[in-house]
Copies of this chain bind each other. A is one copy, B any other.
Amino acid sequence: MAKNRITIKDIAKDANVTPASVSMALKDHPRISKDTRRKIQRIAKKMGYQPNFLARALVSKKSFTIGVTVPHVTDSFYAELLQGIEDGAVEFAYNSIHCSTKNILAKERSSIDLLMNRGVDGLIISSAENEDPYIKGIIDDEFPLVMVNRRLTSKPYCDMVDYVVPDNFSGADMAMEHLYRLGHRRIGVITGLPNTSTGKERTDSARQFLKHNRIKIESKLFVHGGWNKKDAYNATNKLLKLPDKPTAIFSASDEMALAAREAILDAGLDIPSDIALIGFDNIASAKYKGIELSSVGINTYEMGKTAAKIMVEKIENKISPMINKVTMKPELFIRRTCGFHPHGYTAKQAIKKMVS
């Protein structure tokens, strides 16, 4: 750590005042006369003073720092989310520090401990699981907490914590309906981790859609993608090996959808003529020509920013009795991986829905 840095003591000596006065003067406290304030500020600037964050936070019990946990940074969805949180925090003169949990509960816990020990003023968490007693403990302690993207799902805790999440139900519903209207009746689903709220809700919604539309639910059409490319690739192959394989696949994330896409193409099949494909998240690489993955998604960056904003509000209002529950409405982005189906939309209808 840097040594020999200028402290308020040094400034105090130079200005013939006490450290306390320097401290006050630097935060423009009216207690100090305008003249000495100016003088002290001038000297501080001249000496290149930089406040010691650690000392300040230690005594004031305030760090202007938000702790964040996300599964990975390399997942472009979370990279965007993280950037949103970072930028959002900065807008309110806060900073963020993050830890990657790799969807491992133990890692998430140690990350939370680490962040708390570092004196963060609040936590924004994309939880590894939807039932973590550890997180419940944080809620019980009334420590500022905002869950983002993923949240707790069981009563009563799910109602006691602020969150910003996509509307997974309507999102998955939109995706399924799109496939349905295109004429698909045999739809495979690549699920995320079932113990995450996103995984559970998107799968449940898909299941519900089938039920409402009187389509028989076959468990072999639901395969586990585990929120990662490798598992999703293998899961897709399971679907493809089915004697009566699906004509369309809904993947609970674009990351997994792109892996599914590889599997389908590797099997020598065509998208969408052999199999239609739709994902969830609308990540950047879904948009490239030649990929043009249809997807439902929200503005991920904004979701991060919103989470940061709510966090700051929570911190500053101290005991806010209000719980903020923000659900972001997803949009359907029709591209080229679903195509048309002989029994579905008319071309005219579909073209009208086309977006880039």
A interface residues (Cβ-Cβ under 8 A, vs B): 1-3, 50-55, 57-58, 61-63, 72-74, 76, 79-80, 82-83, 86-87, 95, 97-100, 113-114, 116-121, 141, 143, 258, 261-262, 265-266, 284-285, 288-291
Q: Is the CB of B76 within 8 A of A83?
A: no
Question: Least Cβ distance of A49 to chain B in Å?
Answer: 11
Question: What are 30 of the A-B contact pairs (CB < 8 Å)?
Answer: A1-B61, A1-B121, A2-B116, A2-B119, A2-B141, A50-B117, A52-B58, A52-B117, A52-B119, A53-B117, A53-B119, A54-B54, A54-B57, A54-B118, A54-B119, A58-B58, A73-B73, A73-B82, A73-B83, A74-B284, A76-B79, A86-B100, A97-B97, A98-B98, A258-B288, A261-B289, A265-B289, A266-B289, A285-B285, A285-B288
A2 to B140 alpha-carbon distance, docked (Å): 12
- Residues from chain B with a CB closer than 8 A to the CB of A55 are 58
Nearest opposing residue in chain B for A85, CB measure: B73
The 9 closest A-B pairs by CB, nearest first: A290-B290, A285-B285, A53-B117, A97-B97, A54-B58, A1-B61, A79-B79, A53-B118, A1-B119
User: What residues of B have a CB within 8 angstroms of the CB of A288 in the complex?
Assistant: 258, 261-262, 285, 288, 290-291
Chain B residues, CB < 8 A from A116: 2, 50
Q: With a CB–CB cut-off of 8 A, which chain B residues contact A87?
A: 100
| Residue of B74, B285, B289, B291 touching A79 (CB-CB under 8 A) | B74
- For A76, list chain B residues within 8 Å (CB): 74, 76, 79
